[in-house]
Chain A
Amino acid sequence: MTDNVIEASALTKRYGRATAVDGISFTVGRGEIFGLLGPNGAGKTTTILMMLGLTDVTAGTVRVLGHDPVREPLQVKRVVGYLPDTVGFYDYMTAEDNLRYTAALIGIPLADRDKRITSALERVGLQDVGHKHVGAFSRGMRQRLGLAEILMKDVSVAILDEPTSGLDPHATSELLEMIRSLKRDGVAVLLSSHLLERVQSVCDRVALFHSGRIALLGTVPELAREVLGGGYNVEVEADGEGLALRFSEIGGVKAVDQSGPARYRLLADRDVRPQAAAAVVNAGGALRRLSVEEPSLDAIYNHYFETHGGQNAAA
């Protein structure tokens, strides 16, 4: 028994001649937040549908908690919660009634239903509007109701397709916080998004999709090291003699740019702020500003496809 809840190997989906997903392999561990990232049409949703058994697998295998979605779809759908891209509800029914219908389909015992619905609505902050018709709900509220459905289902894996698309920044950060709370419950979360920057902060590991393939797979710092050769941009503003030299001697620093009279930019493969501070103090300088910029997925993605784009397109 491995600790992986999802294992995909050489997963392929073809529609006629077009290949939507081209032999991808990845694993998602228990309680991990895994991001399927990439532009629209890169094969993220198709991959998700294959994991749920909602579309046929052309080649390769996928296992969700050891079950094959093609052969045992009910087993898979019992332990997986799915929040589709722009989730829909029955507008003429109340939020609670919508959840009651799903609860009945899931087969939650009648005695537990209302209790679980109430607590799920509370966790997503919809307890006050549970008896209102969903037709009046904003997009953010619908997404949260979809999340409540997953909470009510009490799943081991949550699959969220573009959960933040179309949400304002405030609603996005609220939703991301709820996704983090899922992880705290030990739920493995697989989320897809084309907005790399927004979801970067919640993902433990990411898979960057490009035209049906996984171009890059790993944690964000790993990818930064691999692609950018560094990743952490440490900005230092300090006076002092020979600081540039001292900075370049710090372990992990790849390059030092002097961008102004007393401004330095350090490109490093880890967070070197403590060492940089020590270097300034040791040089007898005055430290005025010290900040770090984590490697951004956007930068990684763009850099990767600037260098690899040509050959990928040809392949």
Chain B
Amino acid sequence: MPQREGSPWRGLNVVFFRELFDHLTSVRMLVLEFLVVLFGAAVVYFAAEQIRNTTAEDPFLFLRLFAPPGQSLLSFVVVISILVPIMSIGLGFDAVNGEYNRRTMSRILSQPIYRDALLFGKFLAGLTTLTICLVTLWLLVIGFGLLRLGIPPGAEEIGRLLIFLLVTIAYAGVWLALSLLLSVVFRSTATAALVALGLWLFLSLLWPALAQMLGGVISPPDIRFAQLGLPTPDTLAWQQGLSRLSPGTLYGEAVVAMLNPDAQSMTTLLAQFQGRIGSPLPLDESIVQAWPQIVSLIAGTILLYVVGYVAFQRQEVRA
């Protein structure tokens, strides 16, 4: 195949800014933002009340605002981990097939740009929109915390919260790339949206339980460990590995590492080895702990985007 001439980025900024403008002014985005702010405000308010009532001395007061201890369902983190996929899917499910359905695709592609610019522009615009939303929300919660709790966050807390924000953006990227891929594969926007939501439900609700079961089937628990009341290491490794195929699991683990410095669920054995149980992990070790999850989320985003890119390049333009 001969080399093609010209830059694949030509027209990228044009597509990017138009799509961004579309997203930011669309009714769809308004509804999603409203949802997020409503849910976010409710849970953060409850968290703040709880903190004011119970916690007197805590080095990580601000982190409790995002992830209150003991409160699993009504925490900001849980709300975000549910709403971010919905927002991403909402922004991406009709990105490519919508152009076909409006019959604008062949007209746009007959302008002097490559398909690369169109797809990447759409992806970047979606990710930027999500980033703007998440940063706004993040700032709102911190501002609310400042007012309500009356103390400023420490430097380490800010660092942890910043990394939490980045991880959330990467998590949004995975779902955006997935919905973009589905919008390339399915010509009907409704099908793409349904499949995306179905995958999201499957991965976040069903897969964790399924991973436990499959792990047990692939590597049956050893009776010797079971008698001691311990999980079999091989079985546990399989179960964890399988459950980490779900971006929700990866995100949850990374968030726990960043926002709950004293919860050492993941590396209990390692912590015991180092004799550090009970004392919170310093920031750098939390980052090390969450690093594989963060990298996996980014890699997943890139992988899904590339699959969508290849499918889009090979697609017939004819409507």
Contact = CB atoms under 8 A, between A and B. Distances in A.
Interface of A: 45-46, 49, 52, 54-55, 70-75, 77-78, 80-91, 101-102, 104-107, 146, 149
B318 interface: yes
A104 B114 contact: no
A54 B112 contact: no
Given A71-B5, A72-B5, A105-B11, A54 B317 contact: yes
A77 B11 CA distance: 13
Interface stretch (B98-106, B228-236, B283-291): B98-106
B224 interface: no
5 contacts: A46-B318, A49-B317, A73-B114, A88-B102, A89-B102
Contact of B107 (A55, A87, A91): A87
Nearest to A159: B110
Given A72-B6, A77-B112, A106-B112, 9 more contacts: A49-B317, A54-B109, A70-B2, A74-B114, A75-B112, A77-B110, A101-B18, A104-B14, A104-B18
Interface in B1-52: 2-6, 10-11, 14-15, 18
B21 to A, nearest CB: 10
B4 A71 contact: yes
Contact of A71 (B2, B102, B106): B2
Contact of B5 (A74, A101, A102): A74
Nearest to A77: B112
Contacts of A74: 5-6, 10, 112-114
A107 B5 contact: no
Contacts of B110: 52, 54, 77, 80-82, 84
A105 B113 contact: yes
B316 interface: yes
A52 B108 CA distance: 12
B111 interface: yes
Contacts of B3: 71
Contacts of A80: 110
B10 to A, nearest CB: 7
B104 A55 contact: no
Of the listed residues B108, B110, B112, the one surrounded by the most CB atoms of chain A closer than 10 A to its CB is B110
Contacts of B316: 55
A102 B111 contact: yes
Nearest to B316: A55
B144 to A, nearest CB: 35
Given A55-B316, A71-B2, A105-B14, A88 B104 contact: yes
A104 B19 CA distance: 13
Contact of B106 (A78, A84, A104): A84
B107 A84 contact: yes
A82 B3 CA distance: 24
B318 A77 contact: no
A88 B107 contact: yes
Contact of A107 (B103, B109, B112): B112
Contacts of A55: 316-318
Interface size class of B (residues with CB under 8 A): 20 to 34
Contacts of B5: 71-72, 74-75
A87 B5 CA distance: 28
Contact of B102 (A49, A90, A106): A90
A28 B103 CA distance: 27
A105 B112 contact: yes
B288 to A, nearest CB: 45
Contact of B111 (A77, A85, A90): A77
A48 to B, nearest CB: 10
A158 to B, nearest CB: 11
Contacts of B10: 74, 107
Nearest to B8: A74
A75 B7 CA distance: 12
A217 B175 CA distance: 53
A54 B313 CA distance: 10
Contacts of B103: 84, 86-88
A107 B111 CA distance: 10
A142 to B, nearest CB: 9
A75 B111 CA distance: 10
A45 B11 CA distance: 26
Contacts of B319: 84-86
Contacts of A45: 318
A110 to B, nearest CB: 12
A104 B112 CA distance: 10
Contact of B104 (A70, A73, A82, A89): A89
Contacts of B106: 49, 54, 82, 84
Contacts of A75: 5-6, 112
A73 B116 CA distance: 13
A52 B110 CA distance: 7
Contacts of A49: 106, 317-318
Nearest to B17: A104
Contacts of B4: 71-73
Contacts of A89: 102, 104, 107
Given A54-B317, A71-B2, A105-B14, A78 B104 contact: no
A149 B14 contact: no
Contacts of B114: 73-74
A83 B103 CA distance: 11
A74 B10 CA distance: 10
Of the listed residues B4, B109, B114, the one surrounded by the most CB atoms of chain A closer than 10 A to its CB is B109
Contact of B14 (A52, A78, A101): A101
A72 B11 CA distance: 16
Of the listed residues A74, A75, A85, A146, the one surrounded by the most CB atoms of chain B closer than 10 A to its CB is A74
